[in-house]
């Protein structure tokens, strides 16, 4: 009798252990299939790039930027190319959802809900600046309008007390409809003498534009020599934001580009301290930090760069 009880006890333990292992295994599988959870499923679908002005959102009908997500792939579409990535795994961290495209987690997208009722999310690729997107099923719920004007040239007469600037389209990828300029002329005119300088300008990816980016031209003293310089958008930059090409004025009043400027073909230099001869920029790092980048002009004309990581919303 004793032996029978021992055998029954042994069989019961085996059965209980098997059930427990199966339950644990099922839990592991459920965790691995996190894409089956409702929170993640809400991100599946097609998303269009939108803009925000104050508390209102609008969609540019002449834009050609969107991405698509499902539980196996994320396709990022720009006017120039499509980038497709296989989804390796997905993780929720607070109100952020990370879509990793490799096991080492070196490549990823960060998604966050901005307004669930309107179907609006924030999408950030790695450490680049996030952009706003709306689900295709909700796109009619916000304003839809044409955003790009169609100018063959534009005159910028109020940016400088000394110079007028004219941007003229050179060549178009679509000459018939005069869309997508691939080169341009920047004409600098001295207001007093009438002297002209013409610069042939070829942006990196102007095929992303349907027209001249006349609203992305700035005049400032970027190198602290007391002379006006200018910057013009060089690339839309994707998630990183617009990238600029800088032109510097010499004592003879001629403008030229130089690779020695630390922000050449990078983001716009906006925080400029002429007294200390420094330029500061910021770049987001993950969900909770940003890099404060400082570029200081040294006495020998070279630039010294430094970077400091800080927490967001922390003074």
Question: Do residues 120 and 201 share a domain?
Answer: no
**How does pLDDT run across 107-141, given as a tens digit for each residue?**
999 999 999 999 999 999 888 888 999 999 999 99
Question: Do residues 2 and 43 share a domain?
Answer: no
CB of 73 within 8 A of CB of 82? no
Res. 296: pLDDT tops 60: yes
Q: Which residue has the higher pLDDT, 113 or 309?
A: 113
Any domain includes 277? no
Mean pLDDT (whole number) for 277-287 = 82
Question: Do residues 59 and 21 share a domain?
Answer: no
pLDDT at 209: 61
Query: Among 145, 174, 197, where does a domain finish?
Result: 145
pLDDT at 239: 62
pLDDT at 129: 85
Q: Which residue has the higher pLDDT, 280 or 309?
A: 280
CATH code of the domain containing 129: 2.40.128
Question: Do residues 166 and 265 share a domain?
Answer: yes
- 271, β-bridge pairs: 280
Res. 54: pLDDT tops 80: yes
What is the chain's mean pLDDT, rounded? 82
**How does pLDDT run across 201-229, given as a tens digit for each residue?**
988 876 556 667 788 899 999 999 999 99
Domain that holds residue 193: 153-269
Q: Which residue has the higher pLDDT, 312 or 309?
A: 309
């Amino acid at each position: 009798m004793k032996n029978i009880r021992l055998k029954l006890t042994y069989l019961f333990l085996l059965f209980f252990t098997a059930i427990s292992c199966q339950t644990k295994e099922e839990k592991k599988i459920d965790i691995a299939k996190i894409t089956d959870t409702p929170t993640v499923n809400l991100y599946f679908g097609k998303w269009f790039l939108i803009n925000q002005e104050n508390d209102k959102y609008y969609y540019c009908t002449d834009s050609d930027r969107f991405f698509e997500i499902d539980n196996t792939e994320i396709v990022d579409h720009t006017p120039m190319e499509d980038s497709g990535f296989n989804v390796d795994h997905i993780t929720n961290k607070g109100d952020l959802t990370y879509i990793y495209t490799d096991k080492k987690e070196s490549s990823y997208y960060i998604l966050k809900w901005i307004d669930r009722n309107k179907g609006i999310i924030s999408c950030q690729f790695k450490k680049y600046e996030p952009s706003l997107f709306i689900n295709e099923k909700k796109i009619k719920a916000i304003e839809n309008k044409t955003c790009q004007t169609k100018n063959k040239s534009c005159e910028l007469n109020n940016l400088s007390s000394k110079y007028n600037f004219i941007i003229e389209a050179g060549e178009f990828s679509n000459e018939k409809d005069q869309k997508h300029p691939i080169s341009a002329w920047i004409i600098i005119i001295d207001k007093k003498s009438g002297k002209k300088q013409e610069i042939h300008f070829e942006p990196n990816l102007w095929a992303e534009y349907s027209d001249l980016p006349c609203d992305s031209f700035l005049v400032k003293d970027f190198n602290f020599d007391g002379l006006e310089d200018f910057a013009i958008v060089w690339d839309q930059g994707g998630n990183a934001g617009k990238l600029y090409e800088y032109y510097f004025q010499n004592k003879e009043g001629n403008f030229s580009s130089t690779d020695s400027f630390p922000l050449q073909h990078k983001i716009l230099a906006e925080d400029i301290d002429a007294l200390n001869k420094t330029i500061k920029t910021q770049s987001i790092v993950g969900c909770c930090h940003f890099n404060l980048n400082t570029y200081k002009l040294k006495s020998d004309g070279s630039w010294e760069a430094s970077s400091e990581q800080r927490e967001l919303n922390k003074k």
